[in-house]
Amino acid sequence: MSNQTKITIIGWAGFAIMLVLFLQRCGTGNCPEVKNTSDTISITTYDTIPKNIPVPKPFPVPGATVIVELPAHVDTAAILQKYFNINYYKQVIADTNLRAVICDSVSQNSIINRTFTYQWLKPITSTTIINKPVEVPKKRMALYPGIFAGANTIGNNAGCGVSILLQTKKNTLYDVRYDLIQKRIELGAYFKLKFKK
């Protein structure tokens, strides 16, 4: 076996090895990697439903009655009418945070019913984090076919041919060249250098 034949066999063997490495990817696709990303959503809501709190009927404080002197002439019927009437009173107490409403029903010189309702006015903000799986494609190998041409200025030996460049997932480059004129196979390897900023 001649040296030229051995070189040819070695070259094609190197080419075959790189081709096998290129085809050994995850399945037939680019083997995506699933990563979780999150979106933060803030929702501002307001209390739109008033809260009604049961309030017991107030009772008179012993010894707190003030005796008032009666006038000389009174309309007894009018007094009795006012005495038995039911009068409704409403009071609203509010600021930027709270609105409260107090309603009283008064009859026969007593509060016969009282309601207390409040509504929270300050906005309520809730934060929700939503996780969403996202497929991130992994780095994949790449194969670049090409051509080349060159000449030796000393010996006037010109050459040209075809080449195949393989880029790995780690950005390492390998190439195989075959010179059609010189009948020569060349192999090469290139590595990425990292420089500090």
Q: What is the pLDDT of residue 5?
A: 59
Torsion of CA 163, 169, 171, 177, to 10 degrees: -10
Q: What is the pLDDT of residue 158?
A: 80
User: Mean pLDDT highest for which of 112-121, 155-164, 187-196?
Assistant: 112-121
User: Which residues, in sequence order, are CB contacts of 51 under 8 Å at separation 6+?
Assistant: 117, 118, 119
Proportion of the chain above pLDDT 70, given as a percent: 78
Residue-wise DSSP of 117-144: EEEE-S-EEEEEEEEEEEEEEPP--EEE
Q: What is the pLDDT of residue 136?
A: 66
Q: What is the mean pLDDT of residues 139-144?
A: 79
Task: Give the tens place of pLDDT for each residue, 28-67.
Answer: 444 556 666 777 777 777 777 778 888 777 777 787 777 8
Q: Which of 43, 33, 35 is nearest to 129 (CA)?
A: 43
User: Confidence class of residue 14 from pLDDT cuts 50, 70 and 90?
Assistant: low
First and final CA of the chain: distance in angstroms? Answer: 53
Task: Give the tens place of pLDDT for each residue, 66-92.
Answer: 787 878 788 888 888 988 999 999 999
Kindly report the average pLDDT of the chain as a whole number. Answer: 77
In DSSP terms, which residues pair with 54 in a beta bridge?
115
pTM of the model: 0.40
Residue 19 confidence (pLDDT) above 70? no
